[in-house]
Structure 1
């Protein structure tokens, strides 16, 4: 019970800090990093250990599913070059550079140095997009950053797995090499196969709370089965999510989607909070085991690792940006990457929950584990605080042109859907059909002007006003004791759905803080 009480208090502290972040317009991952520091400074909070393998599955699998669900294969195909450069080559270069720093300056065993490099190599683009969402950046830039967060994790954890295996089992066999080579394609194939099975099974649970549980079981199952088969668990979850996103929406009701999105957003957010809090507790335990000399040496080394991580990304991204620029100019292409875009992407190197979970996943007896965990936390804190707080001013400094392509595509799609609705009403007579047809024609006129019909519809505005009065009347009836609470909640739910139907989509989105 004491453990549960302490975790509740820690989460409450994080919620309070997140409320402050919203008031001060600070990115929520940055505030979570500060929450981890605050927790580490609390003397009464106990050290909470977590099983290393559980850390990866618990914190990474849901976050990956949530991110991969919104990333389309088309975006992967059209952005393959920058994704290869960021998700693969940048991870390898960062791992090598950090491993050299660890081997040369801290005397880490080679396997431990490579493990450290792999842990701090993958940026968490979710942390960057939490900042970028507030600015009108090119969609391609945001798509590349989101795609990077999906696939660089797989590359980094493959390297980490090989390094941990080499440290704990030094002998090299052909069987181990073959497992490493088949891990990535096998993970993708497994994820797609599980997704196809899930798409056939899930409609049987439609409209039930069990369908939400099935989503979590399937996501964690894709991870666990891949681990058991020695395949890439990350690529398995990514492939599973992208395949489900491709085939499931046509088989899912609106009610199930609303419930699913709400549950997943809350679950992923809670797990992010817990990951930062647990990492802070781990750091405090490590510092408590070190004497003053060792602490300063460890902090100095962690600073060197942080500087290496930041500088390698800046150098590689800007080099790739200039190469792509020259290539696009030579080919006279229209999509020419600008230097300002390259600078912003190079500064979007914030590390987050993947680095934290990977550090926590190291075996307890792993060589130099305390130094690796402490350095990993320093990289997460340094990038989230240093880069997270300066990314917004950097974007404003470059005065990037707004990208209106998303709004344009939304407007064109709205018009096409309203045309289809009007076509379905053609030939139908009666007052109901006539009224609905008039409403659709009015909505089409507004949508053709690249505006949101739901936000400007006079009928919807009047409906929302009447709903306010209906809610007040419902509360007074309940207060008078005329109806029981079960009737009150049933009618309240009806009014909620009516309000959702009469509201613009952006009114329905939850903020992360």
Structure 2
């Protein structure tokens, strides 16, 4: 039975607290969508409030479990949808943000932290820098989905948020290892680091090719989804046991698997699995922010007033460092790139490869921290020097960046008037036209009445494609979809009436309902 926690004379079980927190998170997420701010902003505020709620639960999590539980599934979900082509086309800005920006942020934060806390070991200060260095994908994507930024800028930010976790976590592990070993030299670290990087890529490639072959045998949706999550954790745990980078292995594994998933996974498995993964990513974000809020309360109560003020001042300085380092690096990168182009040393294929001043500022401002920062702070060993200080600073940086940058990013984008030329829409239109031409060719020789009905619809789509100046169909809705939805709605009402009058039973009703659901989904419902 769940332990009971007294709150204002009411006995509230842990299970009931979970329900309350999840419903509260859903409400905060709905409010965030309504006022068009990233939902992690409100989750961070909610986590901060939990720290000050009297008699709220105090749950703990094993440090070794934090990274696998929170980072592995969230990272796989993001990497699965990443375009390898776009990542390759934007490798220069992505790699500089992943390597240089993360490295400089880590160094800057370590320097500031050590100046503020002179007794703090340098390795612990570097670990703090690595914890707060990587921006979070979820917060930026939540904003970017509401506005139309140039496509290339979005791909740079998505690629950065996917790969910077790997570089930051590599520095983090070296720093934590240095604290444990006390004397760790570069000559000892470099070979291990190189082996881990190469080994992680190889392991991810092998797992991405072998595991889907085994998953093909699982045809039931519930079992397939469980296997997807289980194999994700197995890949992460296996990489960690081998001394590899769990993050890099998961990224390569997901991107390799995604290349063949379109053929290997049928629609009846893909649709429910996507819905479950989206839900799980949301739940993991909720749990991370709630747990870090619960971790903050004992830290806060152990501090006297003077130390609390000292920690808050340190948090403000480190948040300022995080923001300024990214801003200065992006400005420096833009300036150098423009000089190279002007001098004729660099000839980008796309003139838009060099961001405008407004574009550079937006990229600088998309530096909200989130789940990975919280998870790596969780993962610090209990006896790690200055652990309370590091956890406090990590949460303060996440909260500050999500509130300050998260609430101002959308107004800033709208004020700059940056527009998207919608290359994806053009590609979708062209691909849809090609796909339906192939579909028409496949049934062209079929003499059946059903084939003739399909041919009429496909020809109508192709006629619409030929009249489109971009060579495709811009709108995702097919010509007959509105009629289909109207007909399906009438059919649904009729079977509801049959069940209400007990002409048919529930078994028959649910079977027909499932058929209508599939038809409605195919009609864009």
Q: Could you say whether these structures have the same fold, taking a TM-score greater than 0.5 normalized by the shorter chain as the test?
A: yes
Given the alignment of the two structures, is residue 455 of structure 1 paired with residue 466 of structure 2, yes or no? no
Per-residue CA shift, 1:354-391, capped at 9, x if unaligned? 00001111111111111111111110011101001100
Q: Distance in 2 between matches of 1:64 and 1:395?
A: 26
Q: 1:269 aligns with which of 278, 282, 286?
A: 282
Could you tell me whether the CA contact under 8 Å between 2:426 and 2:474 is conserved in 1?
A: no
Aligned positions of 1:357-376 closer than 5 A = 357-376=375-394
Q: 1:453: how far off?
A: 5.9
Q: Please, which moves more after superposition, 90-99 or 207-216?
A: 207-216
Could you tell me whether the CA contact under 8 Å between 1:52 and 1:361 is conserved in 2?
A: yes
Aligned positions of 1:380-459 closer than 5 A = 380-448=398-466, 449=468, 450-452=472-474, 455=477, 457=479, 459=480
Q: Distance in 1 between matches of 2:320 and 2:475?
A: 50
Q: Distance in 2 between matches of 1:385 and 1:184?
A: 35
Q: Distance in 2 between matches of 1:341 and 1:77?
A: 20
Q: 1:239: how far off?
A: 0.6
Question: Unaligned 5+ residue runs, structure 2?
Answer: 3-12
Task: Give the corresponding residue for 2:366.
Answer: 348
Q: Distance in 2 between matches of 1:184 and 1:409?
A: 34
Task: Give the corresponding residue for 1:467.
Answer: 488
Could you tell me whether the CA contact under 8 Å between 2:221 and 2:268 is conserved in 1?
A: no
Task: Give the corresponding residue for 2:303.
Answer: 290
Task: Give the corresponding residue for 2:521.
Answer: 500
Change (3 A) 1:394 1:465: same
Q: Distance in 1 between matches of 2:190 and 2:335?
A: 36
Given the alignment of the two structures, is residue 325 of structure 1 paired with residue 335 of structure 2, yes or no? no
Aligned positions of 1:90-105 closer than 5 A = 90-105=101-116
The two structures have a TM-score, normalised by structure 2, of: 0.92
Q: How many residues align?
A: 503
Task: Give the corresponding residue for 1:229.
Answer: 242
Task: Give the corresponding residue for 2:170.
Answer: 158
Per-residue CA shift, 1:474-500, capped at 9, x if unaligned? 212222223332222221111110001
Q: Distance in 2 between matches of 1:491 and 1:229?
A: 51
Could you tell me whether the CA contact under 8 Å between 1:446 and 1:453 is conserved in 2?
A: no
Task: Give the corresponding residue for 2:510.
Answer: 489
Q: 1:121 aligns with which of 127, 133, 143?
A: 133
Change (3 A) 1:453 1:90: closer
SS of the equivalent of 1:358 reads: helix
Given the alignment of the two structures, is residue 238 of structure 1 paired with residue 251 of structure 2, yes or no? yes
Could you tell me whether the CA contact under 8 Å between 1:196 and 1:243 is conserved in 2?
A: yes
Task: Give the corresponding residue for 1:10.
Answer: 21
The two structures have a TM-score, normalised by structure 1, of: 0.94
Could you tell me whether the CA contact under 8 Å between 1:325 and 1:338 is conserved in 2?
A: no
Could you tell me whether the CA contact under 8 Å between 1:447 and 1:453 is conserved in 2?
A: no
Could you tell me whether the CA contact under 8 Å between 1:325 and 1:337 is conserved in 2?
A: no
Q: 1:23: how far off?
A: 2.1
Per-residue CA shift, 1:242-278, capped at 9, x if unaligned? 0000122211111111121111111111101111111
Given the alignment of the two structures, is residue 36 of structure 1 paired with residue 54 of structure 2, yes or no? no
Task: Give the corresponding residue for 1:378.
Answer: 396
Could you tell me whether the CA contact under 8 Å between 1:115 and 1:163 is conserved in 2?
A: yes
Task: Give the corresponding residue for 1:190.
Answer: 203
Given the alignment of the two structures, is residue 72 of structure 1 paired with residue 87 of structure 2, yes or no? no
Change (3 A) 1:497 1:328: farther
Q: 1:208: how far off?
A: 4.1
Task: Give the corresponding residue for 2:10.
Answer: none
Q: Please, which moves more after superposition, 481-490 or 392-401?
A: 481-490
Could you tell me whether the CA contact under 8 Å between 2:36 and 2:143 is conserved in 1?
A: no
Task: Give the corresponding residue for 1:510.
Answer: none
Q: 1:212: how far off?
A: 1.0
Change (3 A) 1:280 1:490: same
RMSD over aligned Cα, in angstroms?
1.7
Q: Please, which moves more after superposition, 33-42 or 167-176?
A: 167-176
SS of the equivalent of 1:205 reads: coil
Given the alignment of the two structures, is residue 24 of structure 1 paired with residue 35 of structure 2, yes or no? yes
